[in-house]
Amino acid sequence: MKTSVLYGFHAVGVRLKVAPATVQELHLDARRRDARMQRLVERARAAGAQLIDSDDARLTRLAGSPHHQGVAARVAPLPKSHSLDDLLDAVQGAPLVLALDGITDPHNLGACLRVADGAGVHAVIAPKDHAVGIGATVSKVASGAADTVPYLMLTNLARALGELKERGLQVVGTADDAPQSLYEADLRGPLALVLGAEGRGLRELTRRSCDRLVRIPMKGAVESLNVSVAAGVCLYEVLRQRGG
């Protein structure tokens, strides 16, 4: 079975919480014996994971990053996510989907997934082409949200948005030149929020697939926000309108 690597306390801790049986090996900085490490070790032992003492150099090689915090885990893949239809069929109340168009930076995707988890997003969707998948960096930045928020990479994003419309979701895109402010839009019902890459924004076909476009008011010299910041602003406005 193909395995992958998670690193950092949040990413590894969430995997031990949501799918402990998938954690096969836990590599630890042998010099760390603090309470946080001990709690993680206890959870790993309870999950039956093999514990391996490692040094900083070995952990860095395994994680592919020096920012491992003394923890790296070799894990089996999670069961594949259901289809988008299956996910939305199980939603009680108004569905909330985040669509990301052309996000290729793993740090941005990880931050978007973390925001999506906090705001109660039911699924994050992206095109298979011109988008980044889930990897170790995404999982680290997402602080565990890569294991809790379904992330589906779809063949045709515009077609998927059309199918969401058929299900009754309003598709709202963000654009700097939109005539309506985010705070003037009614976002309380079933909703798909669509964000594009920083700088380039939404691709033209994606833009045309939206029911409406909204903008985040910008009062300073900067023309746009980082996509994960924009996602946070927009999703928490949805949450506010829905009553928190």
Q: Mind listing the pLDDT tens digit for each residue in 74-122?
A: 998 877 666 899 899 889 899 999 999 999 999 999 999 999 999 999 9
Domain with CATH 3.30.1330.30 in the chain: 4-75
Give percent above pLDDT 70 in the chain: 98
In angstroms, the Cα distances linking 237 to 193, 196, 243 are 11, 18, 10
CATH class of 4-75: alpha beta
Using CB atoms within 10 Å of the CB of residue 229, give its burial: 0 to 12 exposed, 13 to 18 middle, 19+ buried.
middle
The per-residue pLDDT for 3 is: 83
Question: What is the residue type of 26?
Answer: L
The per-residue pLDDT for 191 is: 98
Copy the structure tokens of residue 212. Answer: 């409406």
Q: Mind listing the pLDDT tens digit for each residue in 4-30?
A: 899 999 889 988 988 899 999 999 998
Res 141 pLDDT > 80:
yes
pTM of the model as a whole: 0.79
CA 59 to chain centre: 24
The per-residue pLDDT for 178 is: 95
What would the DSSP string read from start to end of 109-164? HHHHHHHHHHHT-SEEEEESSSS----HHHHHHHTTGGGTS-EEEES-HHHHHHHH
Copy the structure tokens of residue 107. Answer: 């740090």
Q: Sign (positive/negative) of CA torsion 111, 217, 240, 195? A: negative
Res 140 pLDDT > 80:
yes
Contact 186, 206 (CB under 8 A): no
The per-residue pLDDT for 1 is: 61
Residues facing 146 on adjacent strands: none
DSSP H or E run through 74: strand 71-75
Residues facing 73 on adjacent strands: 6, 26
- Model confidence at 195, pLDDT cuts 50, 70, 90, reads very high
Copy the structure tokens of residue 89. Answer: 């069929």
Instruction: Give me the mean pLDDT over the 122-137 stretch.
Output: 92
The per-residue pLDDT for 207 is: 96
Res 223 pLDDT > 80:
no
Domain with CATH 3.40.1280.10 in the chain: 84-241
Domain 84-241 belongs in CATH node 3.40.1280.10: yes
Q: Mind listing the pLDDT tens digit for each residue in 147-170?
A: 899 999 999 999 999 999 999 999
Directed axis angle between helix 227-241 and helix 106-119, to 10°?
10
DSSP H or E run through 54: strand 50-54
Q: Mind listing the pLDDT tens digit for each residue in 34-59?
A: 999 999 999 999 999 999 999 999 99
Contact 119, 239 (CB under 8 A): yes
Map tokens 């988890």 to a residue: 117
- Model confidence at 236, pLDDT cuts 50, 70, 90, reads very high
Q: Sign (positive/negative) of CA torsion 132, 135, 140, 142? A: positive
